């Protein structure tokens, strides 16, 4: 019985899995933010680069 309790306490103190989950959540939030930014700024960037390309070639 004491061995089971000791294993349970060690499992509760182990933070490796928690850290990996936190990093995964941070990466997911960052990916969502980048996707949203490109979605919102995409048309404006396309217009700006098209204008620049027109001035260079024309």
Q: How many residues does the chain have?
A: 58
Percent of the chain clearing pLDDT 90 (strictly above): 53
Q: Where are the alpha helices (DSSP H) in the chain?
A: 2-13, 16-57
Specify if 22 maps to a domain: yes
Enter the pTM of the model.
Answer: 0.53
Specify if 29 maps to a domain: yes
Specify if 1 maps to a domain: no
Specify if 52 maps to a domain: yes
Specify if 30 maps to a domain: yes
The structural domain count of the chain equals 1
User: Residue 47 — pLDDT band, cuts 50, 70, 90?
Assistant: very high
Specify if 8 maps to a domain: no
Domain enclosing residue 29, as ranges: 15-57
Specify if 10 maps to a domain: no
With vertex at residue 52, the alpha carbon angle to CA 48 and CA 58, rounded to the nearest 5 degrees, is 140
User: Residue 40 — pLDDT band, cuts 50, 70, 90?
Assistant: very high
């Amino acid at each position: 019985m004491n061995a089971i309790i000791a294993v349970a306490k060690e499992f509760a103190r182990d933070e490796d899995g928690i850290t990996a989950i936190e990093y995964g959540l941070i990466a997911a939030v960052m990916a969502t933010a980048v996707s949203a930014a490109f979605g919102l700024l995409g048309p404006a960037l396309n217009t700006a680069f098209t204008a620049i390309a027109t001035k260079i070639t024309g």
